[in-house]
Structure 1
Amino acid sequence: MEWMVMPEHPMMFGFIQFVYLTNRSIDEFKKSAVPDFICFDAQKCPALLATITPINIIHGLTCCNISNLINHVEFLDFDRLILTFPGIIRNCWTRDIETSCANSSYFHCNQSLKCIPYNRVGDGIADCFHLEDESFNACHLNDSNRFTCESNPNQCLLPVAVGNGLPDCPQGEDELYAYTSSLVKLMPFASLCNYYNDYEGPVLDFMETDETNCEWWPCNNPYTRCDNFWHCLNGIDELNCPNTPCSLNEHECENILLGLSYCLPLNHIFDKYIENCSDPLATRQIYFYNGTQNINNDYLSWNNTKCVTTNEICRNSNFSLIPKAQSHACLYENIHRSWQYNTAVHLVHHIGNLCYFNAKRSDQKFTDLFFKAIQFGDFPPINTNHSIPNISKHNQEKRLIPKTDPNFISYCHRGIAVLHSINQTKICLCPPNYFGSQCQWQNQRISLTLQFLWRSTASITVIFQAIIMLIDENGQIAPNFEQITYMPSRDCDTKFNIYLLYPNRPKNLSHNYSIRIDLFEKTNLNYWSSWYLPISFSFLPVNRIVSQLLIPDIQQTTSCSLSCGKHGKCMQYINNKSLFYCQCNQGYYGTRCEMSYECNCSSDSYCLAPFICVCPLYKFGTHCYLKHSICQLSHNPCKHSGLCVPNDDRIDLTGFTCFCSQDYSGARCENTNNQIDIHLPDRIIEQTSFLLIHLITAIKNAEHQRITLMKKIPYNQNILRLYLSQPFNILLLQIPNQYYYLGILREIFRPSENIYTKIKLRQRCFSIDELLNNTLRNSGYLHRTKYYPLLCRQYLQMRCFYDNDLLCICDIDRFSNCFFFNHTMNYDCQGYNYCENDGQCFQNNETCPTKSTCVCQDCYYGAKCQFSTKGFLFSLDPILSYHVKPNVSLIHQPLIIKISIIISTIMFILGLISGLLSILVFHRVKARQVGSGYYLLVSSITSIFMIIVLTIKFWQLILSQMSLINNRSLLTFNCILIDFVLKVLLASSEWLNACVAVERMISVIHYTSFNKKRSKQLAKLVISSVFLVTIITQIHDPIHRQLIDDTDDDEQRIWCFVEYSSSIGIYNSFITLCHFLVPFSINLITALVIIKKIARRRSNIYPEQSFQDHFQRQMHRHQHLLCAPCMLIVLGLPRLIVSFSKRCMKSAREPWFHLIGYFVSFIPSMLTFIVFVLPSKTYKKELHTIYEQTMRRFRRIT
């Protein structure tokens, strides 16, 4: 027996082949393509073995006669033959010969003898032939993600089976939106009560559908308006629609037989009263009458009622089909379709039909399912002085494509055919993926799809040039490379598809290639970053690689350890931190930049490799010598000083893109952005420092768009100002995790409009928990939403309300226009949240974001929430910086700034006076007879320097935040040194005061044996040691300080920022506590020792008096010794409280506690004169002597 297999490889499901006997004639084959035998792999379908008689034809396959599997074998072609096999394949997929499952995580089909994973049990798809997997009680699996059928609690479905259009529960509640859970998609609000049942497929016994309980639903609403179907009995939902041929308040009526069309005025249309509406044969009759006779006894005039209802048509009716119609709404009527569709119009006193209203429509969805802003009105009212600008439209050039011979077009397959020279020779221009004389061969290549993502805290204009290169293991760059110009605001959603060709054809299999992508900023050609993409399956002729690349918001400056010689530097790939490469200087190349080349690029371009030139913005070409003329005209094509950027020269030499400033938008920056001023009440300002701005935009025939912005409330202001270029219909304000307020409604967006809106408490959106009773509140989605239109008519002052899934606006007709609104949105910038310390990330656009904003948790601040007010707060920057208004004079600065200026000035004057007087006293020899005089002299000098540095620090902070000091070098110098010097001076001053207390305690203890000379010698040594140790222990601070630009659209600030590692942070906390607590404790302990020793000594000398009497007398006599440490203790307490307080400065709106603590910490060092001079008789005597000497000198001069 001779046979053949056709086709050679399995054509069906990968394991079934057709076998034909060779004795069949061609004519027989034409009549029937049925094979003589079917062969298959028995391991892939063991269940078929039980139904066939095996025949040994092909080694390794099991074969059988075609009649074993198919009853009817007369088929003309392969297509009809293949249609019979799905049933056979189902046997293979759902049957097996396994009596048990070796793996316990598998489910065993007892009848079908097949093992399947448990995650396929109850998924709505029969994996067992006898449906055992779908009837199994999967609730015992304890899978919390499964949906439990209410009609059968023993049936638990996987999420994929819920809402799939097929009822799997006995009563189909897995498809019923009334039982909606997070697994089921909610029915759009526009689908409710529209006379169309949106449940397709088998009819289920649903207690609630989208067309039940619609008694309070208006028949004329934004979703039924002008859809060519009469939802109201008098067709008012189709009255005065656009594009109608009739005038105001006229219905079109057509007579198809006569080919005529009438426009019937509403005041001439009547309904004939029906005597018995309960009669099933009763029909509605509509009449037209324009005579003068009064026919109101028998006919209901449409002009006398706004809503034609069955109650009004049915005379003497003893039933009510609907609730009584309200004066401002015509309500839904669940009536027989024949009433609704009976649109024939008769003439009064005449027989026959005049015409038919065009109100009938086939059974299809009458409304689209998307949110509309119809009948919103305008809130606040439109400014009458506003006019919509006349925007000129630029006509696109129409390109005429001549007709071409199809054979000529197909000559080059995937290429383009052109005719060359006089002989008109056909030449093919092939795309990169094909080659050959007729583009008939495929190139070995890399098919690369790239999408760039850019996130920034500021809306800045940035243009990037990406160089995509194919490199081998030796770092050699293949000559076929690609360049892409990427503009975030234009190309944010663009996927770039490119081909990278290997340098040899066929490719050299001994080389391992990879992809390197270098990114440059186009405007200045500065290097930005690099990515590395491996080619995993290098043996494939075509490699398909898809990658999404996140562009860092700052240039890459990280150094690495790879040696690159004198002519390069080591760079790190941002998507693989463990890989490095050498970025060579211009004119050098190689893995270590060891080879040189002559750069042929233009002088203003960048030489990346011997054959790669990165061109500046307005140049192009292989060597960047060609110029883009479109953007270098004398007249800028972009209006209002917009930046003109040429398009890709490979696509269009005359096209360009305009980058607009913050105040303008449009294709050519022709539109002024909408300025929105929102006046906030004090109640809102007291609750939060920022608001969430939700912009809702209705899009025709598409899902509505939602953009959520975060906006900081300016300090000491009630006006929140926004500049918006994106269209919107609704603007909502939200206090985070609290209330919504309706700010603006615009039925039609008007560009270049200035809007002022004042937020009042009555604009708050109510929760349905405040509006509905418990029964309705706890009912299902479908049932509950049917009552929403009633809420706007009940609460006439309410503007909006919401539930867990919807947010509803009360329009001018008091209809509840609702749309889906996610109240628990994850603000993580679509997974690219760069906000630190659990900050929330907001984007300026949902589909094409170019700017991100961070909302910080308590105790954090900065554009990225990178700064903290936790721990030992000893910096004025986070306390006052946010209160300083840039580019505003001191007179108009906030109150806290003015008060701080007063405090700083007073401290400077008093500190200077105190320090100078103290120096005069302690500079005298008599005041320095012991070591404490030296301590106090140096402490006085230190206090003067400290108060001067503090004043410099204060004014430098104020002036730099006011943008009056912009010198980067000066700011960096001040950042590194000023806080460090303040820390050293403050700690040294406290240690010197502690030394005074220790020496006085020693003098009291030793009394007459106290060595004054040794005390002075020791003091000089201690003073030097104090400054040296203090500097050494604080030297880590300037090392870790840096100047950081923290910019966003609201504020552009420069911060002096210190960031420690965890170990240095612990050390800093420890050393800060030591410099404060140890001197503090010394003062406290020495004060107690001095008091006790003096009292005990006097008690021993005069025993007749009690210890208490001696204690009081010595306290009075030696109060100058006690006042100093006691006063230092009292003045040090505020700083101690601030340092150990668990509370941080949660936001810049509560600075007073920390501001007072900061200033108070400097007071003890400034009070040397008051604390040490005035209480001492010796020092006051020296001060008096200085005064007399000064006065004598003054008298001599005068």
Structure 2
Amino acid sequence: MCRPQYDHYGQKPLCICSMNSYGPRCFIDRLCQMKIGRNPCQNGGICLTKYQHYNLIDAYICQCPKSYFGPICQYRSGVIEISYDDENQSVTLSGEQISATVIQLFDISDREELSIKKQILYKDSLPSHLIITSEIRNVVAKYHTLCDNTTSNSSPLLCFVDDDYFCLCDINNTAQCFLYNKKFDQCKQCLAEGQCIKGDIDTPSDYLCLCPRCHFGSKCQHNTELFSFSLVSLLSPDLLSSSLVKQKVSLSMYISVPAVLLIYGTISNFFSLVTFRQPRTRLNGAGHYFFTGTIFSQLSLFCLLSKILHIIINIRGLFIQPIINTVLCKILSFLLSLSSRICYWLIVFVTIERIYVTIYPTKRWLQKPKIAKTIITLITIFTCASHVHELVKYNIVDDPKYTANGKWCVTQLSRPLQIYNQTNTMIHYLTPFLVNLIFTIALMILITRTRANIDRNKSRWKIFQEQFKKKKEMFIPSMIHIISALPHLIISFSLACNDLDTKWQRYMLIISYFAAYVPQCLSFHLYVQPSKFFLREFHATKIWKMLAQSRTTIN
């Protein structure tokens, strides 16, 4: 079948050949024995001609049967038959012997012996050529009709692809197809199973990620699912703003806030550690919980500032050593999650111990230092084990869309691991919060009820006020942790899977995120000052005596 004016440049015809011929004008027989009068292929091989304009006679290839190979099928393939005798439970090998040369190095210094009794060399490879089946040929031949059938449509077909070909519809409604490697179009820039669309192959930043639900960012690196907001997703829009003034203001704010928390927290935590190093403060479990909680509070404040500095340095592409950058990405994220969540659990057990003492005033089992140390160890192991995936899955990814060296420290989680991470975060966040809330309320009710049974002349509200003032050290730590965590909890639930289109939503999340770290810098005011006993122990330390002496000297 000949269609004239196939190519409007060279005015060449287009020929669609029959099954037994091919070539520009269909003048070459597909089976070469029809042309030269004999079959050059041995052992039943099929001779197929190749189109070479300078040598039409000798241009051929042989399609060999399964048992033969070689240019003209002259070599017999090695065959090994394996027979299994079910009755005798034996295996028999038969066939031609295959010779192979094996060079192997033996270490004669070892005392071991290696005896190779039998060696079988197995080789499996793709055939040197493949013949397209008639079914596929028929489909490819019909590709011309796809271009021809689109002339009546309002949006004509311009191009299409299959597994092997890329086809263009020309002005004559004819498909011009050529082999195309799909690897050229592969784009692996997107995270979270986002669909990547590649633009200019020579431009690394020319790509577009179609993100799944609850993800956004140039690489779908930011997650807005419940309890999945990260510092980098909240801070990066301001740090990458097109306005230089906004960048500088945001940079100074995001560094100064955690810096103030760290400086004030260092002073407060230092005074707390000095207090709880006194032997008398650790005669019961609460002293051990406060002492350990103070250490982890200081660690969380340090990691918070370090994490923000790490984000800023990465976004600006200032890191030189990739190995150090990756290690910091993993370690800082892991320690920040670990330290802050251990603090939540320790306050829970302080509340549990105090409600235990209120119910059983004569018993001391839960107050024993040995029990407290065991609980602290178990909390640390449990929290570390449940966050190990952060050490593995936090990685540095390049993002050429912003700067040539810009990078993100983000997680690359599969869907099952995303579900686990979300569940794990909810357990470490919601469980301490709810237990703290319920037990603190229960503690208030128990103390008020116990006192009301003794003093029946006063109202319960009056008794509650009096008991709160007398035993405020039992309520203040738990209440402050609840109040600081509540805004972040409410906002996270409200804005889960939202696009954060308006700035106030993101800023509310940022404020609530920083507010959750306020108790970590107030350990002295929460643990020591409300308690007359702990405050008296602090006044007995050398630090307090030095401060009191210097204040007297100044006055």
Tell me the TM-score normalised to structure 1 length: 0.31
Give how far 1:1026 is off: 0.8
Q: CA 1:866–1:1191 in structure 2 vs 1: closer, same or farther (change >3 Å)? A: closer
Contact 1:434 1:441 in 2 (8 A): no
User: 1 CA distance for matches of 2:552 and 2:495?
Assistant: 61
1:861 is the counterpart of 2:216: yes
Cα deviation 1:1031-1086 (Å, max 9, x = unaligned): 11111222222221122376652122213233222222222111111111221122
1:879 is the counterpart of 2:237: no
User: 1 CA distance for matches of 2:65 and 2:180?
Assistant: 22
Contact 2:265 2:298 in 1 (8 A): yes
1:1163 is the counterpart of 2:518: yes
Q: CA 1:1070–1:1078 in structure 2 vs 1: closer, same or farther (change >3 Å)? A: same
Aligned residue type for 2:130: I
Q: CA 1:552–1:1119 in structure 2 vs 1: closer, same or farther (change >3 Å)? A: farther
1:925 is the counterpart of 2:279: yes
Task: Give the greater-gyration-radius structure (CA).
Answer: 1
1:444 is the counterpart of 2:39: no
Cα deviation 1:441-475 (Å, max 9, x = unaligned): 262369xxxxxxxxxxxxxxxxxxxxxxx99999x
User: 2 CA distance for matches of 1:1161 and 1:1170?
Assistant: 16
Aligned residue type for 2:510: L
User: 2 CA distance for matches of 1:535 and 1:856?
Assistant: 38
- Which of 491, 512, 535 lines up with 2:130 in the alignment? 535
Q: Which residue is equivalent to 1:904?
A: 258
User: 2 CA distance for matches of 1:1101 and 1:921?
Assistant: 35
- Which of 965, 982, 1001 lines up with 2:319 in the alignment? 965
Contact 2:311 2:409 in 1 (8 A): no
Q: CA 1:838–1:553 in structure 2 vs 1: closer, same or farther (change >3 Å)? A: closer
SS at match of 1:865: coil
Higher strand share: 1
1:1087 is the counterpart of 2:443: no
Contact 1:927 1:1182 in 2 (8 A): yes
Give how far 1:1157 is off: 2.9
Contact 1:872 1:1069 in 2 (8 A): yes
Q: Which residue is equivalent to 1:434?
A: 52
- Root-mean-square deviation (CA, aligned residues, Å) is 4.4
1:1184 is the counterpart of 2:539: yes
Contact 1:1131 1:1160 in 2 (8 A): yes
Q: Which residue is equivalent to 2:393?
A: 1040
- Which of 1045, 1052, 1063 lines up with 2:416 in the alignment? 1063
User: 2 CA distance for matches of 1:1111 and 1:1056?
Assistant: 49
Q: How many residues are treated as equivalent by the alignment?
A: 417
Aligned residue type for 2:57: W
Q: Which residue is equivalent to 2:507?
A: 1152
Contact 1:879 1:1148 in 2 (8 A): no
Q: CA 1:878–1:936 in structure 2 vs 1: closer, same or farther (change >3 Å)? A: same
Q: CA 1:433–1:1082 in structure 2 vs 1: closer, same or farther (change >3 Å)? A: same
Contact 2:187 2:198 in 1 (8 A): no
Superposition pairs of residues 649-664 of structure 1, within 5 angstroms: none
Give how far 1:912 is off: 1.2
Higher helix share: 2
Aligned residue type for 2:181: L
Cα deviation 1:650-683 (Å, max 9, x = unaligned): xxxxxxxxxxxxxxxxxxxxxxxxxxxxxxxxxx
Q: Which residue is equivalent to 2:331?
A: 977
Aligned residue type for 2:448: A
Aligned residue type for 1:992: L
User: 1 CA distance for matches of 2:462 and 2:443?
Assistant: 16
User: 2 CA distance for matches of 1:1127 and 1:1034?
Assistant: 26
Give how far 1:1167 is off: 2.5
Aligned residue type for 1:1043: I
User: 1 CA distance for matches of 2:133 and 2:75?
Assistant: 8
Contact 1:882 1:1148 in 2 (8 A): no
Q: CA 1:897–1:1038 in structure 2 vs 1: closer, same or farther (change >3 Å)? A: same
Aligned residue type for 2:407: I
1:548 is the counterpart of 2:192: no
Q: Which residue is equivalent to 1:989?
A: 343
Cα deviation 1:777-835 (Å, max 9, x = unaligned): xxxxxxxxxxxxxxxxxxxxxxxxxxxxxxxxxxxxxxxxxxxxxxxxxxxxxxxx989
Superposition pairs of residues 608-757 of structure 1, within 5 angstroms: none
User: 2 CA distance for matches of 1:1178 and 1:1126?
Assistant: 20
SS at match of 2:320: coil
Q: Which residue is equivalent to 2:15?
A: none
User: 2 CA distance for matches of 1:956 and 1:1017?
Assistant: 39
User: 2 CA distance for matches of 1:867 and 1:1019?
Assistant: 39
Q: CA 1:986–1:1005 in structure 2 vs 1: closer, same or farther (change >3 Å)? A: same
1:893 is the counterpart of 2:525: no
Give how far 1:1030 is off: 0.7
SS at match of 2:475: helix
Give how far 1:992 is off: 0.6
Contact 2:317 2:403 in 1 (8 A): no
Superposition pairs of residues 747-896 of structure 1, within 5 angstroms: 841=197, 843=199, 852-854=206-208, 856=210, 859-865=214-220, 867-884=222-239, 893-896=247-250
Give how far 1:533 is off: 11
SS at match of 2:408: strand
Q: CA 1:882–1:1108 in structure 2 vs 1: closer, same or farther (change >3 Å)? A: closer
Q: Which residue is equivalent to 1:37?
A: none
1:1109 is the counterpart of 2:465: no
Q: CA 1:472–1:548 in structure 2 vs 1: closer, same or farther (change >3 Å)? A: farther
Q: Which residue is equivalent to 2:293?
A: 939
Q: Which residue is equivalent to 1:90?
A: none
User: 2 CA distance for matches of 1:1109 and 1:888?
Assistant: 57
User: 1 CA distance for matches of 2:272 and 2:435?
Assistant: 23
Q: CA 1:1100–1:956 in structure 2 vs 1: closer, same or farther (change >3 Å)? A: same
User: 2 CA distance for matches of 1:910 and 1:471?
Assistant: 83
Contact 1:919 1:940 in 2 (8 A): yes
Give how far 1:925 is off: 2.0
Contiguous gaps of at least 5 residues in structure 2: 2-27, 29-48, 78-125, 141-164, 166-177
SS at match of 1:893: helix
Cα deviation 1:129-177 (Å, max 9, x = unaligned): xxxxxxxxxxxxxxxxxxxxxxxxxxxxxxxxxxxxxxxxxxxxxxxxx
Q: Which residue is equivalent to 1:1023?
A: 376
Q: CA 1:883–1:850 in structure 2 vs 1: closer, same or farther (change >3 Å)? A: closer
Aligned residue type for 1:947: L
Contact 1:433 1:445 in 2 (8 A): no
User: 2 CA distance for matches of 1:1147 and 1:1094?
Assistant: 45
User: 2 CA distance for matches of 1:1170 and 1:1068?
Assistant: 33
Give how far 1:950 is off: 1.6
Give how far 1:1133 is off: 0.4
Superposition pairs of residues 66-145 of structure 1, within 5 angstroms: none
Aligned residue type for 1:1184: H
SS at match of 1:434: coil
Give how far 1:999 is off: 0.9
Give how far 1:1121 is off: 1.4
Bigger relative contact order (CA 8 A; separation at least 6): 2
Contact 2:238 2:246 in 1 (8 A): no
Q: CA 1:1185–1:868 in structure 2 vs 1: closer, same or farther (change >3 Å)? A: same
Q: CA 1:435–1:538 in structure 2 vs 1: closer, same or farther (change >3 Å)? A: farther
Q: Which residue is equivalent to 2:42?
A: none
Q: CA 1:1189–1:1107 in structure 2 vs 1: closer, same or farther (change >3 Å)? A: same
- Which of 1172, 1187, 1192 lines up with 2:527 in the alignment? 1172
Superposition pairs of residues 407-422 of structure 1, within 5 angstroms: none
Cα deviation 1:598-639 (Å, max 9, x = unaligned): xxxxxxxxxxxxxxxxxxxxxxxxxxxxxxxxxxxxxxxxxx
Q: CA 1:472–1:1122 in structure 2 vs 1: closer, same or farther (change >3 Å)? A: farther
